[in-house]
Chains A and B, each alone.
Chain A
């Protein structure tokens, strides 16, 4: 119903009542705001537009598409192309065969990985190789699980129903303790280093044994061979030992040992870096702040005295921190 707008007679009568001077405030003619009489808005409901597309969709969802109306838990609900024999489980857009929805690890698999690393103390590399999950993904799972457990300990509420609903509609991959697990993804893929993308003509004698290490040296003197640049060089070593006739259990034990060793080395390197930093730092506590003095060499300024790593802001050089196209958000975490 449109709002009732006072007629002119009402207003005039109110005004005429106020012509008599009185101390009370009820004579103000503000019973209806003045704006309301100027801008009348329509309260007519919008015309229901039942377009052709809507009509066709409704016919479809009530007829042949009725099976898609409700999602079957534990599986995807993707449309089935009419001329396809196999059931469509990985194509959200059935006409685009190149768009595939990749499976994700479900919560059980992630909990399994977390318990293997945190509870049983296995190395990230060994778990990655055993289950066929990328090293970075394993590390991310452990970090996020730790955050989740922190939140549970703090009593924060988790969006579990949301996670369950989303995971219920995606293709998932799971791991079980008691059976042999399928690998989740390829783990030993080689990162394409920019040094290796150029074409080189490198004459060698035919009799020469030209290995991957030699190829790497041909690209750049400091480039490691492909066998050392892969995420799991220990796996290659294990396969070599298997070929030499070592039993599988022995080779896998040696693999786990070398994975542990390489992780220990990485941790030691990090510790040594922190210790070196600490050695050149003097900490002075005032009553408000801690002052950290880092000893530097101010004469390390490059041949022209304008090196980028030289101490302090540079004189006579523009600072591009506000230019267009510069990345202003941090690109790494400390």
Chain B
């Protein structure tokens, strides 16, 4: 069975808090995992006594254990992949942000359209 590194949601309604866990892929989200290797607080917070408006997110992570589990074939979920790529443990997944160009039209349509243009 596939071993995954994923998030388990704890906290209350509108106050999420995640454990970063190593668990078998087919087990329930909040079931007892193989190992808890960290936490992720997704709610951005300001520093105390800081009025600049900058926010930060707190993540605790045992990077040694994370590297070990990656090394033995555990698969991070997309969110955990994003976090691990910030630390340089995983290669970042980049979304293709180039503007999409439509594929070229088939030749026979192109061949038909040109004479029509000439007629007009």
B-contacting 9-mer, from A27-35, A101-109, A174-182, A310-318? A310-318
Chain A 296-330 interface mask (CB, 8 Å, partner B; 1/0): 11110000000000111101100000000000000
Contact of A313 among B10, B49, B54 (CB under 8 A): B10
Residues of B within 8 A of A282 (CB): 87
Residues of B within 8 A of A296 (CB): 38, 60-62
Is the beta-carbon distance between B10 and A292 smaller than 8 angstroms? no
Asked if B70 CB lies within 8 Å of chain A CBs, one says: no
Is the beta-carbon distance between A298 and B59 smaller than 8 angstroms? no
A-contacting 9-mer, from B29-37, B72-80, B97-105, B107-115? B29-37
Is the beta-carbon distance between B38 and A289 smaller than 8 angstroms? no
* Number of residues of chain A lying within 8 A (CB) of chain B: 22
Residues of A within 8 A of B17 (CB): 313
Interface centre among A284, A293, A315 (most CB of B within 10 A): A293
How far, in whole Å, are A282 and B71 apart by their CA atoms in the complex?
Answer: 22
Smallest Cβ-Cβ distance to B59: which chain A residue: A293
Is the beta-carbon distance between B36 and A289 smaller than 8 angstroms? no
How far, in whole Å, are A291 and B61 apart by their CA atoms in the complex?
Answer: 12
A329 to chain B, nearest CB (A): 16
Is the beta-carbon distance between B56 and A291 smaller than 8 angstroms? yes
Interface residues of A (CB under 8 A from B): 282, 284, 288-299, 310-313, 315-316, 333-334
**6 interchain pairs (CB within 8 A)?**
A293-B59, A293-B63, A296-B61, A312-B39, A313-B39, A315-B32
Interface residues of B (CB under 8 A from A): 10-11, 17, 19-21, 32, 35-39, 44, 48-49, 54-63, 65, 83, 86-87
Pick the 7 closest A-B CB pairs, nearest first: A298-B62, A312-B19, A313-B10, A290-B56, A334-B48, A284-B86, A312-B36
List 20 additional A-B contacts (Cβ < 8 Å) besides A294-B59, A296-B38: A282-B87, A284-B87, A291-B59, A292-B59, A293-B60, A293-B61, A293-B63, A294-B60, A298-B37, A299-B62, A311-B19, A311-B36, A311-B37, A311-B39, A312-B36, A312-B39, A313-B39, A316-B32, A334-B48, A334-B49
